Structure 1
Amino acid sequence: MSRYSLINFVVCLGFALLASADETVPTFSNDVAKIIHDKCASCHRPESSAPFSLISYRDVQQRAGTIEAVLDMGYMPPWKPVDHGIAFANDRSLSNEETQKIKGWIDAGCPEGDRGKTPDPPQVTEGWILGKPDLVVRMNGTFDIPADGPDIYRSFVFPLDLPQDKWVKAVQLRPRAKSSVHHALFFVDTAGNARKMDGADGQTGIAGMGFLAGLGESNETNTEGGGTILSRLRGERRSADSDDDEAYHVNDGLARGLGGCVPGSTPNLLPGDLAMSLPAGSDIVMQTHFHPSGKAETEQAEIALYFAEQPPSRELMPIMVPPMFGFGANIKIPAGEKNCRVFDRLTLPVATRAIGVGGHAHYVCRELKLTAQLPSGQAKILLHIDDWDLDWQDQYLFAEPIDLPADTVLISELIYDNSAENPENPHHPPQDIRWGRGSTDEMGSITLLAIADDQNGEESLRNAVRRHFINSLIHREPSQLVEMLMQLDDNHDGSLQRSETPPRMKDRVFEFVDADDSGALDESELENVLRLRGWFRR
């Protein structure tokens, strides 16, 4: 081979090796941008809760060190469900291949690649993740949250004045007081009762959480002497052994919800033609839990609504196990207990299709699991989180609906760690913890979003959910029910203040049973409430 040919061969080989190396080095445009956009940008974008944006090459390149650190720790992206073979539509987890591709890109010095090949970033309309909303509604008035102090429970009205029925595919909350919002739940008020209660104490909104007792009722049934939760339960207790589904009808307003917003969650459109009912003339009420963050804030939240074009073919039902976030589950976690378990179960009376699932608990919950025990004996784990974190709650939509035959048993299990070894324990040293609405109390429930497989089965499924709620209360002894009512004692002073009780217990009931005129009800006085309502058997 001539010297010229040898030199030419070496040069060509060098260029070939360089080209080969270029093909194996990940670039932002070819490899990393799509991963970041798909798995990170829903939170890391302008006007979102994340501390910085990850949209452009420059955004990601400047945060490369942070990204590598949180990948090594497994902290990001936040995805809690354990893989039991159930596919989720909104899965934000990274595969090992995706993780290695990002880390390889960082190790290579974060090359941008061909800018013209960079995929378009996700479009966000004025901070709304799902694009331009069909309707944006603002909370009626403003509410000031102090820098510190006890947790605040407040409900706010979002006036709608819709002339026609609507069906809601998704809801997104945009709070102003981002640092202080612990969670928010959305309910539909079809009778305008919340508007009447709004501002009764001189501040925007409704104190406490008791407004739910009046949702969906007419003015006549909302007056003294009208039906109340306790009087309804009294009637259910008398017919507790009845198999008649009609015996379990509870005010529909108690169950009429539009979902909620918790830390770490992202809004998702309901699949297919599924949607939630929003009747003409109704309002949205946002039940909000504030946890003061160390800085004073003012809340005037906005809600974006996304509507379906037509009513759904099936009613979407939330099946909460245990119901009412565990209110009736007798949650008591002794100080030092590392393995306190709470179980509940509900049998599906008809063939059901599961659409999505989510859990809720507070700080000392360590693990939660929802299992579907099929009649065949097969067990399907629908949700399992073995490292529960209050800051990363979410709703998980199944990639495909999961068919559950009639007589499937839904079994929930929640495990709490109230030991000093639990770094999330809010009490130092540990204290006994019971069910309560405060951050340092506990709750616990798993909610399955489902539809009856057949339209004829909707009523049976609806009544099974109602019966499950009623049965968590009516079989309690009076002393146990008093103990449960005392769980509403948010400030733990041993009595129920007016602000801690449902609205109908605040006026006439207090006049009759507040024997010591203290403005609060202790346990003995609560027993008198139950006697007035006919709960104690003679």
Structure 2
Amino acid sequence: MNKLSKLFLILIMPAFVAAGGGGPNFSEHVAQIIFNNCTSCHRKGEGAPFEFTSYEDVRKRGRLIVRVTESGFMPPWHATSADYQFEGARGLRDGEIETLTRWVEGGMPEGDPKKLPQRPTFTPGWKLGKPDLVVKMKEPYPVPAAGRDIYRSFVIPLNLKEVKWVKAVEFKPGAPEVVHHSLFRYDTSGLARRLDARSPTPGFRGMGDGNALGPRSLGGWAVGGSARFLPEGLAYRLPAGSDLILDMHFHLSGKPEKEVSTVGIYFSDKPPTDVFTAIQMPPQFGALSRVDIPAGVKDYTVEDSFVLPVDLEAFSVSAHAHYLGKQMRMTATLPNGVKKELIHIPDWDFTWQEEYNYSEFVSLPKGTRLDTTIVWDNSEDNPSNPHNPPRRVRWGLQSTDEMGSLTLAVKPKNLSDMRSLHTALGRHARNHYNARRNRPAQAGGGLWAAVVAGVMRGDKNGDGKINKVEAPRWLLKSFDKVDADSSGDLDRRELERARDRLGKGRD
């Protein structure tokens, strides 16, 4: 080859590579990576800010894609487990990230459009396909631009003529910028309708029992979460004549919004063969743990342990904390001493609160010890810290307060063992609180603040007080003692002063 020919090849080689001759192109190499990992969220009608359904969509943001995938920021997936696989785990292999990088460096060629893989198909608006029943809020709820977080419940009639078994509920917020999470439950008593009718605006104050796996629960949704079907053999019971209740938490965004939630319900054609419940550690989203985080502390830690009284099988796990959450871990030490990691979230993100489903049921024999560790970072080094400079943060309902828990969804191997499990969980909650209450704490924090907040959530008529109809059962026998001014209702100040009167001791 003469010198002129070599020079010609050197000059045309960059163009040849850019055209796709020597490197990856979109149609043959990049499209499948994007379709498999990005398009489910990056499409019309979903929460992602732009679409990734075509070559032009991806080419326009090719360099951004490389940056966020190399850093691990995208695709969003925050949980790991050294011992078990999660269903639908998002993440790119090193080779896939390298392909994206080489494609961008090579000029982002399209390649032959005829070789483009089939684009994924989605039922418009629904990730799980067409629901059996679609319902929505009767009227919009006005969410103000600023103020404290709002907890409000909304009633949606279902008009069911017979018992149904629910396999999944898919939730679509109308104003996703302000809806932090929603718990779904049913009501057959008509109480929710009456409370709704008393309020001049849609819904009523409060947020149900706060239990995503309680006896009337139909599951829930949180920011970053995705709807999934329950495993085979499991279903929620939905009685005839039920109203759907959406217990919602709004975190205000700085501009007014109007929320009209839409819900898709998926029915099973047969009753379930198993029952299921939840093990939450620490209990009550950490309310019993006296969470009280001093300003500047980088690694405030709460631990919890629970020994299983019966044989169980776990099928999903979820986590909850607010802005100061740093990392979470749950392990299982089996009776033979072998330790298994159920979940580890090394870098908690308040905006992604998913439920992680195991690919297969996880067997947890009787005698297995579950251990959880939750760490919060209240230092100025935490970029998510809502306070600058940092300030003391305690357990509470506001997003700028803190919570923390890991929740393991389980089914007993024997149906008759459910009562034994619930009894043990109740005993565990009491023991956990007693162990924590003996530790020194700063004045004004701890359990009683959480108790007061929980009681005030029962203020259904919005008058800022609790009457005997709104009060929890445990408070009724001491109601008159706490009612210092004999007004027939309790305000927050009376409740805060009632700790000693009720014999709770100082926590």
TM-score of the aligned structures, taking structure 1 as reference length: 0.80
Q: Which amino acid aligns with 2:234?
A: L
Query: What residue is the counterpart of 1:200 in the other structure?
Result: 198
Question: Could you say which residue in structure 2 is the equivalent of 1:245?
Answer: none
Cα drift, residue 104 of structure 1: 1.9
Which residue type is aligned with residue 280 of structure 2?
Answer: M
Asked if 1:212 is matched to 2:193, the reply is no
Aligned length: 482
One-letter identity of the residue aligned with 2:149: D
Alpha-carbon offset, residue 254 of structure 1: 4.5
Q: Specify the SS of the correspondent of 1:336.
A: coil
Q: Quick one: which of 444, 450, 463 aligns to 2:404?
A: 444
Match of 1:425 in 2: 385
Distance 1:143 1:172 in 2: 20
The share of aligned pairs that are identical, in percent, is 40
In the alignment, which residue of structure 2 is the partner of 1:526?
Answer: 498
Q: Give the structure 1 partner of residue 233 of structure 2.
A: 273
Mapped pair 1:312 → 2:272:
yes
Answering whether residue 418 of structure 2 is matched by residue 458 of structure 1, we say yes
In the TM superposition, what is the alpha-carbon distance from 1:89 to its structure 2 partner? 0.8
Could you tell me the TM-score, scaled by structure 2's length?
A: 0.85
- Structure 1 match to 2:470: 504
Q: Does structure 1 residue 414 correspond to structure 2 residue 374? A: yes
Aligned counterparts, 1:475-514, within 5 A: 482-488=448-454, 498=464, 504-505=470-471, 513-514=482-483
**CA–CA distance in 2 between the matches of 1:145 and 1:399?**
39
- What is the alpha-carbon distance in structure 2 between the residues aligned to residue 189 and residue 69 of structure 1? 48
* 1:137-536 alignment runs, 5 A limit: 137-209=135-207, 211-212=208-209, 254-469=214-429, 482-488=448-454, 498=464, 504-505=470-471, 513-516=482-485, 519-523=491-495, 525-527=497-499, 530=502
The Cα shift of 1:276 comes to: 2.2
Q: Unaligned 5+ residue runs, structure 2?
A: 439-443
Aligned to 1:43: 41
Q: Contact 1:155 / 1:205 at 8 angstroms: preserved in 2?
A: yes
Query: Does structure 2 retain, via aligned residues, the 8 Å contact 1:168–1:278?
Result: yes
Amino acid at match of 2:100: I
Question: What is the CA-CA distance between 1:274 and the residue it aligns to?
Answer: 2.6
Q: Is the 8 A contact 1:352 1:453 kept in 2?
A: yes
Higher helix share: 1
Note if contact 2:394-2:401 (Cα within 8 Å) is conserved in structure 1.
yes
Change (3 A) 1:513 1:85: closer
**Mapped partners of 1:334, 1:138: distance in 2:** 43
Deviations along 1:296-349, one digit per CA (max 9) or x if unpaired, are 101110111122221222112222112221121211111122111111122222
CA distance in 1, matches of 2:21, 2:231: 39
Quickly say closer, same or farther: Cα 1:529–1:212, change in 2 above 3 A: farther
Could you tell me whether the CA contact under 8 Å between 2:330 and 2:406 is conserved in 1?
yes
Q: Distance in 2 between matches of 1:138 and 1:369?
A: 37
Change (3 A) 1:429 1:342: same
Deviation at 1:97, TM superposition (A): 1.3
Q: Supply the distance in 2 between the matched residues of 1:334 and 1:489 (Cα, whole angstroms).
A: 25
The alpha carbon displacement at 1:367 in A equals: 0.7
Distance 1:420 1:375 in 2: 42
In structure 2, give the amino acid aligned to 1:150. R
| Offset at residue 460 of structure 1 (A) | 2.8
1:25–1:108 contact (8 Å) kept in structure 2: yes
Question: 2:484, 2:494 within 8 Å by CA — same for their partners in 1?
Answer: no
**Offset at residue 473 of structure 1 (A):** 5.9
SS in structure 1 at match of 2:194:
helix
- Which stretch has the larger CA shift, 44-53 or 57-66? 57-66
Conserved 8 A contact 1:497-1:520: no
> What SS does the corresponding residue of 2:254 show, helix, strand or coil?
coil
Bigger mean CA deviation after superposition, 124-133 or 195-204: 195-204
Equivalent-residue separation in structure 1 for 2:70 and 2:425 (angstroms): 43
Decide which of 26, 29, 35 is 2:27's aligned counterpart. Answer: 29
Q: Given that residues 187 and 285 in structure 1 are in contact (C-alpha distance below 8 angstroms), is that contact kept between their aligned partners in structure 2?
A: yes
Tell me the alpha carbon deviations over residues 448-480 of structure 1, each in whole angstroms, 9 at most, x when there is no partner: 111112334334334434444465568998997
* Structure 1 position 28, deviation (Å): 2.2
Q: How many Å apart are 1:80 and its aligned residue?
A: 0.8
Instruction: Give the Å deviation of 1:484.
Output: 3.7
In 2, Cα distance between equivalents of 1:525 and 1:381: 43
Change in Cα spacing, 1:520 to 1:277, as seen in structure 2 (3 Å) is: same
Match of 1:224 in 2: none
